[in-house]
Amino acid sequence: MQARRFMDGIKNAVFTDKSIRLLGKNQYTSNVESGSTRTELKHWVELFFGGFS
């Protein structure tokens, strides 16, 4: 169930020249649902990809 809600919030990854440069800084880009908040997205990313210090 949590995986489904995560996938509903984040649509897809974005791959542009700028986003590829940001990968080198461990910064990732994606398209998200317009109703998603920054706090919700941070929670789901930390849950699925590990916590950040």
Q: What's the burial of 26, exposed, middle or buried (CB within 10 Å: 0-12/13-18/19+)?
A: exposed
Question: What would the pLDDT profile of 8-50 be if each residue is shown by its tens digit?
Answer: 677 888 899 999 999 899 888 888 888 888 888 888 778 877 7
Q: Phi-psi bin for 34: left (phi > 0), alpha (psi -120 to 50), beta?
A: alpha
* pLDDT for position 5: 55
> Helix (H, G, I), strand (E, B), or coil: what is residue 12?
strand
Q: What's the burial of 15, exposed, middle or buried (CB within 10 Å: 0-12/13-18/19+)?
A: exposed
* pLDDT for position 24: 92
pTM for the model stands at 0.56
What is the residue type of 42? K
